[in-house]
Structures are given as C-alpha cells and as structure tokens.
Amino acid sequence: MAKKDKSIDEKSSKNGSVTELLKNKQKSSKKKLQSNSDPESELKGKKLKSKPSGILTRSPKPEIGNEEQSQAVTKRLPKKIYEEELNRLHIELVKLQEWVKYKQLKVVVIFEGRDAAGKGGTIKRITQCLNPRVCKVVALGTPSDREKTQWYFQRYVAHLPAGGEMVLFDRSWYNRAGVERVMNFCTHEEYIEFLRSCPEFECMLQRAGIVLVKYWFSVSDEEQEKRFQERIQNPLKRWKISPMDLEARAKWVDYSKAKDDMFNATDIKQSPWYVVNSDDKRRAHINCISHLLSQVPYEDVTFKKIELPPRQGEIEYVRPPMQLQNFIPNVF
C-alpha cells in the first residue's frame, strides 16, 4: 500500500490535476475492480465509476473555467436602481424567513470564493433585515487541536439548522478543497477522501430534509487587486486583509486549479454550484439574492394584525430621581 501511495503522489505532481489523477487511476484499475476490490483503487475511482444508487451524478453543465474567463464586461449598476431593487428583495427575504419558520424548513447556504470576492458583503445584505434568531451566519476560524482529530465534517454539523432556521456559511467544509490543499494544511490522502465523501455527505443532508444551496463568488484578477489595495490603504478596512490573503494572492494559479478540481468532484446534480460574477458588487448582491429566493419556493404568510395593548397607568408608582441614575454624556 505504501508503494501505491507513493505512485499516486508522483502522478498527482506530474498531472497537476486531481481530476486527471482520478480518471487515470480509474482506467488502470478497471479490470482489477471487477475481480478483486482494491481499497486504494476504489477510493480514486469511485467518484466517476461506482456511483451509489443514484447519487454523485455530475451536473449536466459545461465545465466552469477560470474566473477571469467567466466575467462579463458590464457597467456598474446605478446606485438608485440598486437601492430600489435591494429594498424590494429585502421585503421578499422577510417573506421567505416567515415561510421558513411557518413550515419549519431547514436551509443551508454556502458562500465560497476567493478573498475579496464579495461573500461577506452579500451575506450582510441578506441578513440586514432578517431576524438573527432565524437566519444565522457561521464563519468558523482555524480548527482547534481537538477539532483536528475529529471527523472532518463534525465541527460543521454542530452548526446545521434546526427546523425554522437558515444558516449562511461564510466559507464552509470546502476549505479542505481550497486553502487546505493549496497551503498543504492537509495530507494528500485527506484531500482525496474529502473529494470522495463530500458529495455523499451533502446528499445525506438533503435526504434529512435540508435545503442546500452553494455559491461560488467569482472575481477577476484585476478587481481583486483593486479591492486589496483599497483594504491596505483604508484604515477602516485594513482588518479585512491578512497575511494568508496575501499568500493566497501569490498562489492565484494554484487556487484556480484547486477550484477547478473541486467543481469537477462536487458540482453534482443534487447539489450544484452556482457561480456569482462579482466584479460589480451591486450586481452580485442583487443577482445572488434573487437566485436564492428562486431556490426556496415560498408563500406570503400574512402577518396577524398587531394591536398595541393599553399602557398600564402609573398607579402607586414613584419614579426615582433622575440624578441618581448614570446617564451617558450628551455629546450632541
């Protein structure tokens, strides 16, 4: 088995693509799999060959290339149109929220993409007018020493929604296919196992009644640099950029390859990836929210008419002297 592992790593480094590795391994192991089941061969070939009863079906769409190839050249959406449309969408999001509560739905939305692609800004616009007890945002940091010994998906499972809740993951379990692969934070075997098990994991969530929507925010090289420069120069935004962001910027091509391999393995019919062109933040906000609303069919659950009760009279109540209370200074 050790010799096989070494052979696999050598092929991986030559090909530069895990997808090609899986395909080559599948062809060479085809006859062996029919007679003797080799665990290593099964691990590499299962995604494309051994599909467990109807899952892991590749989404019938053209393969998605690099971000810079997919960006449409458009003018920035005018502010007035943006604000009017965003206000309309906020009303619809509130309706969706009430429907999720009413029907006890469980909704998970994943936001992935390069640094400064606009994930956080879009999440902010979605949650702006929603109840934080219903719509929650999860942005996990680096795993603790204990979490590193757990089943990889375990720390994310703890944040999955109960009935009547929506959870927005600002980055998710796909860290393993991106930053962990590029920065060598996981082993090659752990990475291959993730590509194999992730589609099965997501199908399991859906069978459990979870509505899963996955977004990839695509930003061009030029626009990302522009946003990084803004963060560096603006003291109010400098906290948004980290040494890891700069290192990732230097590894643009490596991240492009990792993203392509991730899509090839996890863009399946049951849980497809949806790409958001995000060079124009305003368009990205509007387009993403509009699409999200289309992914969760909902109805307008009319609010019950609210009537304020009469205020209780101040019977036998004496207000304490105001000078005994600590008021903040009146700056204005």
pLDDT above 80 for 325: yes
User: Where in the chain are all domains bearing CATH 3.40.50.300?
Assistant: 79-295
* Residue whose structure tokens are 């307008």: 300
Q: What is the pLDDT of residues 116-125, one digit of tens each?
A: 999 999 999 9
Q: What percent of the chain has pLDDT over 70?
A: 78
> Does residue 313 or residue 155 have the better pLDDT?
155
Structure tokens at 235: 């003291």
Per-residue buried b or exposed e for 181-200, using 16+ beta carbons within 10 Å of the residue's own CB: bbeeebebeebbebbbbbbe
Query: Average pLDDT in the 131-139 region?
Result: 98
Per-residue model confidence as pLDDT tens digits over 254-292: 999 999 999 999 999 999 999 999 999 999 999 999 999
Domain boundaries 79-295, CATH class:
alpha beta
pLDDT over 80 at 237, yes or no: yes
Rounded average pLDDT over 26-34: 42
Cα gap 36→295, rounded to integer Å: 43
Q: pTM, whole model, 2 decimals?
A: 0.77
pLDDT band at 153 (very low <50, low <70, confident <90, very high): very high
Residue 142 CA to its chain's centroid (Å): 16
Name the more confident of 52 and 70: 70
Exposure class string for 246-276: b at 16+ Cβ within 10 A, else e: eebbeeeeebbbbbbbbbbbbbbebbbbebb
Phi, psi angles (nearest 5°) of residue 135: -105, 110
Predicted local distance difference test score (pLDDT) of residue 318: 84
Q: Mean pLDDT, the chain, as a whole number?
A: 84
pLDDT at 24: 52
| Residue 49 or residue 151, greater confidence | 151
